[in-house]
Amino acid sequence: MDQDSHCTAERELLEAVSRMTTSSTTSPSDEEENQPKAEISCQVRKENPGKDDAQDSSATLSPNSSMTTKELQEYWRNEKRQCKQIKLLFEIPSTRIVEHHLSKYVMYKIIILQTGSFDSNKSVIERRYSDFEKLHRNLLEEFSEEMEDVTFPKKTLTGNFTEEIINERKLAFKDYLRLLYSMKYIRRSKKFIDFLTRPELQEAYGCLRGGQYTKALEILLEVVGLQERLTRGNPVSVVPTLCAIVVCHKDLENPASAFEYGEKALSRLCVHTSHRYYIPLLETMITLAYELGKDFLSLQEKLEEWKTKKDPIRVFTLKELAVREYVQ
Q: What is the pLDDT of residue 288?
A: 97
Contacts 24+ apart (CB under 8 A), 54-59: none
Q: What is the pLDDT of residue 307?
A: 83
Q: What is the pLDDT of residue 90?
A: 95
The Cα-based distances of 172 to 43, 91, 138 in angstroms read: 36, 11, 19
Neighbours of 57 (CB within 10 A): 10
Q: What is the pLDDT of residue 120?
A: 64
Question: pLDDT (tens digit, 0 to 9) for every residue of the chain, 328 residues total?
Answer: 444 544 454 455 445 444 444 444 444 444 344 343 333 333 333 344 444 443 443 334 445 555 667 666 665 555 554 444 458 999 999 999 999 888 899 999 999 998 765 656 789 999 999 999 999 999 999 999 999 989 998 888 777 889 999 999 999 999 999 999 999 999 999 999 999 999 999 999 999 999 999 999 999 999 999 999 999 889 999 999 999 999 999 999 999 999 999 999 999 998 899 999 999 999 999 999 999 999 999 999 999 988 888 766 677 999 999 999 988 6
Q: What is the pLDDT of residue 121?
A: 72
DSSP 242-265: HHHHHHHHHHTT-HHHHHHHHHHH
User: Which residues on neighbouring strands pair with residue 209, listed in sequence order?
Assistant: none
For residues 124-157, b (16+ Cβ closer than 10 Å) or e, as one string? Answer: ebebebebbeebbebbeeebeebbeebebbeeee
Q: What is the pLDDT of residue 96?
A: 95
All domains in the chain, ordered by first residue? 87-196 (3.30.1520.10), 198-323 (1.25.40.10)
Q: What is the pLDDT of residue 169?
A: 95
Specify the length of the chain in residues.
328
Amino acid at 69: T
